[in-house]
């Protein structure tokens, strides 16, 4: 049984085959979605990002090769592993599938256990890759690229379901003084502790990413700007009263560091529905917060 439910999309026009696959994969712990043609799959993939796609080649509205090429052209989707399944067992068919962007090719009929083994090998490789590629090396928070991908995905959900989201841009006030006073090791320690503090005080559904330097960004899903302001004010106030203790070896010296942060907020759909624009407006609000005294929150107006 999977510890974490990876999400698999099956694109298969035969309902019997599709449901047999779905039932088997759910039995061993996967979350499974079904699409019976390429159009359904494209619509699904505009809003969802599965961990792996099982793709039939013969579809009623196009072939699997063409759908695979479309997936590989989409920035958010291009790294999703794809396993072709098909009754076509010729060498030329397999070569075309791999050249179209497939990661593996299995011919029908096949044993479910063989498919499962191929899925698990690919997902394990992708887990290692994603862990390295989506995390900030210093703080362990998500990086800017991954944040942008998730924000785009969440904006699609806002447009479909109408539930708001808010982006909070956070900057450490006078961070240069920390580095100048205590050194960059302490500065790095403060960045790491800030991420830990945010993760411990935000909701589990919220996403913290390092945007650059001492600037961080938080994706607050299903929350409007007013509610986000109240949440972030509790965090700002608690952080203002917190102290980070750095143990400097080998001198056994304890360094106490206190910081404050400035925060800018922008929400979707109220302020904007374009991901880049939402970030830009949150950044503008942050700029105002920093230039009107720091250690405060400003919402985009």
Q: Name the domain boundary from 133, 155, 179.
A: 133
The answer to whether the beta carbons of residues 201 and 235 sit under 8 Å apart is: yes
Residue span of the structural domain in which 28 resides? 7-133
Counting residues of the chain whose pLDDT is more than 70, the rounded percentage is: 98
The pair of structure tokens assigned to 100 is: 């179209």
71-91 pLDDT tens trace: 999 988 989 999 999 888 889
Other C-beta atoms within 10 Å of 80: how many?
19
Query: In this structure, is residue 2 part of a structural domain?
Result: no
The answer to whether the beta carbons of residues 116 and 28 sit under 8 Å apart is: yes
186-212 pLDDT tens trace: 999 999 999 999 999 999 999 999 999
Average pLDDT over residues 230-237: 97
The pair of structure tokens assigned to 113 is: 């256990």
Average pLDDT over residues 242-265: 91
The distance from CA 124 to its chain's CA centroid, rounded to whole angstroms, is 18
Average pLDDT over residues 4-23: 92
34-43, 84-93, 243-252: segment of lowest average pLDDT: 243-252
Write down the pLDDT at residue 4. Answer: 53
Angle in degrees, 0-180, between the axes of helices 64-73 and 91-100, rounded to the nearest 10: 20
Output the average pLDDT for the chain. 93
CATH of the domain at 96: 3.40.50.2300
pTM exceeds 0.95 for this model = no
Query: In this structure, is residue 222 part of a structural domain?
Result: yes
| Separation of alpha carbons 69 and 169, rounded Å | 36
Catalytic residue positions?
214
Give the CA radius of gyration of the chain.
23
Query: In this structure, is residue 274 part of a structural domain?
Result: yes
């Amino acid at each position: 049984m999977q510890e974490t439910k990876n999400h698999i999309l099956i694109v298969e026009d035969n309902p019997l085959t599709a449901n047999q696959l779905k039932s088997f994969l759910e039995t061993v712990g996967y979350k499974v979605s079904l699409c019976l043609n390429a159009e359904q799959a494209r619509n699904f993939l505009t809003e969802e990002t599965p961990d792996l796609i099982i793709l039939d080649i013969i579809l009623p509205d196009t072939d699997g090769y063409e759908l695979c090429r479309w997936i590989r052209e989409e920035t958010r989707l291009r790294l999703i592993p794809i396993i072709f399944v098909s009754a076509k067992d010729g060498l030329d068919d397999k070569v075309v599938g791999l050249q179209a962007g497939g990661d593996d090719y299995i011919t029908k009929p096949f044993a479910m256990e063989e498919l499962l083994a191929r899925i698990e090998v690919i997902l394990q490789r992708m887990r290692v890759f994603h862990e390295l590629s989506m995390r900030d090396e210093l703080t362990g928070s998500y990086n800017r690229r991954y944040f942008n991908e998730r924000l785009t995905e969440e904006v699609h959900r806002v447009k479909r379901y109408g539930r708001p989201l808010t982006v909070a841009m956070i900057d450490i006030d006078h961070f240069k003084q920390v580095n100048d006073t205590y050194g960059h090791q302490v500065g790095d320690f403060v960045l790491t502790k800030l991420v830990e503090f945010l993760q411990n005080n935000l909701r589990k559904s919220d996403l913290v990413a390092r945007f650059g330097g001492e600037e961080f960004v938080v994706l607050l899903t299903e929350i409007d700007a007013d509610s986000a302001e109240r949440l972030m004010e509790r965090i700002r106030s608690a952080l203002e009263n917190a102290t980070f203790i750095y143990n400097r070896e080998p001198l056994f010296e304890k360094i106490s560091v206190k910081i404050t942060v400035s925060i800018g907020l922008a929400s979707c759909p109220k302020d904007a529905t374009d991901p880049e624009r939402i970030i830009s407006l949150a950044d503008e609000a942050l700029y105002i917060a920093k230039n009107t005294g720091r250690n405060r929150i400003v919402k985009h107006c």
